[in-house]
Structure 1
Amino acid sequence: MEKLIEKFESGATVENGKAAATAVAAPTPPAAAPPPPPPPPPPPPPNTAELQKQSATEGAGAGALFAEINSLGEGGVRSGLKKATRGPVNEEAVAPAPKPAPAPAAGAVAAQAKPAPAAKAPKMELQGKKWVVEFFEGNNEIILNVNSIKESVYIYRCNKSTIQIKGKCNSIAIDSCKKFNCVFESALSICEVVNSSDIQIQSTGASPAVTVDNCNTLTYYLSAEALADAQIITSKSAAVNLCAPKPDDPDDMFETPIPEQMVTK
């Protein structure tokens, strides 16, 4: 009896002399996820009547078009078409557009717009004690009579002309002349030529000094009287020549070049 009580109080049973382990309850499994929503219903089937109606309408329109074309015939179909030709029309169609001309530079416009300077009237007059001879063109018969040895002569911008100065003057100045000839009798002090080209000078009497400055191509014809004490001063000039009678033969002339930047006596 005691053994039976101990058996029931211990809460364990013995089977075949071994204690049976108390059974442990298994854990409860987690709840399952809810099922996904059902897919959307399929689209309704096409309306067969509408499709048949649309197909019939398109077929009728195409049939009417072809029927109209067939009724015109071959010549009628091409009657409204224009014949394409290979000529200026096609060339003009593919020709590139002309480019605008470049605008002229401002300097070129100003140069074209600037009028040419008006030719001034020739003048020969006595201003105080100085004769002023200006702007003669192509005149080979200019004659100037000097009344006093105190009078000087100033010649400016005379081209392709010849002047003859009669009488003894104080000085002669030739400025900015081209292809100009000057014949004078005598000069008391000096004959000066500046800024000129293609000049010929001839003295029939005495001329102490001749100055040539910034000139190109000048020939000075000296008389036998002027050759004795003549003095020529040159600077910044080219092709300056001196012609004078030979000492042993006055009827024959000799020519010699004059060096630059030197005094020739």
Structure 2
Amino acid sequence: MDEQIKRLQTVTDRLEAIARQLGTNSSPTSGPSVGDDESADSINRLPVIQDYEALINDAVKPFLVVSQKIGGDLSKISEHVSLLFQAQQQFIRQAVQSKKPNDNQIVDAIKPQSSEMEAITAFTNKNRKSPLFNHLSAISEGTPALGWILVSPTPGPHVKDMSDAAQFYSNRVLKEFKEKDPTHAEWVKLWAKVLNDLYSYVRKYHTTGLAWASQGKRDFSTVSTSTIKPVATTAGGPPPPAPPLPPPPPPMALDLNTNTEADNSRNELMSSINSLGQGVTARLKKVPDELKTHKNPQLRQQADSQLVDNSKPAVPPRGKKPTTSSTEATTTATTKGTPKLALEGNKWIVENQTNQSNLRVTQTEMKHCVYIYRCTNCTITIEGKVNSIVLDQCTKVGIQFTSVVSLIEFVNCKSMKAQVIEQVPTIQIEKTDGCHVYLSPTSLDTEFITSKSSEMSINIPTGDGEYKEYPIAEQFKTCIQGGKRLVTTPNESAGV
């Protein structure tokens, strides 16, 4: 009797096991339960998941560590970067196991990522006066690369374009801090590595778009993300040690040779000065005794009378032109420089141009930057969409451009005119006297940042082919309210 009961119990156990197995596999959309650690481990071992984890460990975490080390506003914005990558890691884990949901479900699913991107942009715009504004802008311009999950059929180029957009501000960080603090140069390289590694990951696993249902076809909402670990560092505790970095991939074309060229120029200059010093008196003529004033009193009296009668300027005899020394002529020629219009890497160089009415920059790409230096009385046309435009120490230059990704900047210029054909998000005017900007109907949301400048105006199209001119305030009135805060308004006498 006991033996029969044991056999019956064995059969019952087998039937229950079969029933559980059938219940698990009966629905094509059902999957491993939330608590199924073995299934979660199998998902985590997938290359598409492991390589994104490697992206976080090898690139994102070291970048966050250095950001926390620099501190300030960079420490705060890096927390949003950490949350952004964490949210995308969770999203990818769900996407590769499930069918593509409808548009409304996708909007809800990516909300954690879009919220962090918006927070990064808002934080950057709020801190324009921050000493780390270029760092913040490099992050703000680069993080839209994580929007590749919505790009089809080629998300890779989208990541690359956003990397190129971040390059402009990364170069500014290098220019400002490379000599002061090498930590900032390391920060630039790490941010470039984050974007480059993301580009490689997308090209490897998501060539034609996010790989939905590549590892299963369950309902998106049923897939668990509870095994995802948060990404790296917060300001509240010590950062984890960064893993050793592998040799970095070919970076974006960052201008890292600026200081080397400056050092070479400085050495050449010092060599020239030293060489002049060796024979500086070689060509001097000896003054004879009869021309020395201390030995000839009559010469001294003539010199004294000339000093007293200083109302008459010294004029050379008629028919003779004043001569210019060879040293002065050489200095003038060197200061003016050689005219140039060429593409060097990703940067168009336009410099030392004078009286040129038809300078054109064509065959541009969105990753290109345009640098215009010491041009006088010229008209320049830039076709296509470029990353940025900078005009430095120019006079009486008119520029017409199609579209700019980041900004156009006027620095140390005089009597400038600019016309926007399509769009430009920001126009920055610094230490410039006379700058008149003509906007297009599609560029009316352009922001203007001005400092230490005068005679600025914005010309807005009225719809009938005409423009209405609005001056930018040059003078401001500041009052103290409540003994605690300052309120600044444009001064009405400035014509505003």
Structure 1 CA distance for aligned equivalents of residues 363 and 303 of structure 2:
62
| RMSD of aligned alpha carbons | 2.7
Distance change (3 Å), C-alpha of 1:112 and 1:261: farther
Q: 2:302 matched to which residue of 1?
A: 100
1:214-242 CA-partner distances (Å, limit 9, x unpaired): 00011000011111x21111100001000
Equivalent of 1:244 in 446, 455, 460:
460
Q: 1:232 matched to which residue of 2?
A: 448
In structure 1, runs of 5+ residues without a counterpart are: 1-96, 105-110
Q: 2:350 matched to which residue of 1?
A: 133
Residue 218, structure 1, aligned to residue 439, structure 2:
no
Structure 2 CA distance for aligned equivalents of residues 148 and 252 of structure 1:
31
Residue 190, structure 1, aligned to residue 407, structure 2:
yes
Higher relative contact order (CA 8 A, sep 6+): 2
Residue 204, structure 1, aligned to residue 421, structure 2:
yes
How many residue pairs get matched? 159
Where is the helix percentage greater, Structure 1 or Structure 2? 2
TM-score (normalizing by structure 1): 0.55
Contact 1:146 1:165 (C-alpha < 8 Å) held by counterparts: no
Residue type matched to 2:368 in 1? E
Q: 1:164 matched to which residue of 2?
A: 381
Residue type matched to 1:257 in 2? P
In structure 2, runs of 5+ residues without a counterpart are: 1-297, 308-323, 477-489, 491-496
Q: Secondary structure at the match of 2:303?
A: coil
Q: CA deviation at 1:133?
A: 0.4
Residue type matched to 2:340 in 1? K
Residue 115, structure 1, aligned to residue 328, structure 2:
yes
Q: CA deviation at 1:261?
A: 8.3
Q: Secondary structure at the match of 1:115?
A: helix
Residue type matched to 1:259 in 2? A
Residue 155, structure 1, aligned to residue 369, structure 2:
no
Q: CA deviation at 1:113?
A: 8.1
Q: CA deviation at 1:128?
A: 1.1
Structure 2 CA distance for aligned equivalents of residues 195 and 150 of structure 1:
25
Q: 1:124 matched to which residue of 2?
A: 341
Q: CA deviation at 1:100?
A: 3.3
Q: 1:173 matched to which residue of 2?
A: 390
Contact 1:234 1:259 (C-alpha < 8 Å) held by counterparts: no
Misfit runs of 4+, over 6 Å: none
Residue type matched to 1:181 in 2? G
1:135-165 CA-partner distances (Å, limit 9, x unpaired): 0000011011143100010000000001000
Structure 1 CA distance for aligned equivalents of residues 389 and 443 of structure 2:
15
Structure 2 CA distance for aligned equivalents of residues 170 and 202 of structure 1:
17
Q: 1:258 matched to which residue of 2?
A: 472
Structure 1 CA distance for aligned equivalents of residues 344 and 365 of structure 2:
14
Q: CA deviation at 1:114?
A: 5.2
Residue type matched to 1:236 in 2? K
Where is the strand percentage greater, Structure 1 or Structure 2? 1
Contact 1:131 1:151 (C-alpha < 8 Å) held by counterparts: yes
Q: CA deviation at 1:112?
A: 7.5
Structure 2 CA distance for aligned equivalents of residues 217 and 252 of structure 1:
21
Contact 1:222 1:243 (C-alpha < 8 Å) held by counterparts: yes
Structure 2 CA distance for aligned equivalents of residues 138 and 218 of structure 1:
19
Q: CA deviation at 1:126?
A: 1.1
TM-score (normalizing by structure 2): 0.30
Identity %: 34
Structure 1 CA distance for aligned equivalents of residues 450 and 387 of structure 2:
21
Residue type matched to 1:195 in 2? N
Contact 1:158 1:180 (C-alpha < 8 Å) held by counterparts: yes
Distance change (3 Å), C-alpha of 1:127 and 1:222: same
Distance change (3 Å), C-alpha of 1:185 and 1:261: farther
Residue type matched to 2:387 in 1? N
1:154-203 CA-partner distances (Å, limit 9, x unpaired): 00000000100011100000000001110000001100000000000011
Structure 1 CA distance for aligned equivalents of residues 459 and 426 of structure 2:
15
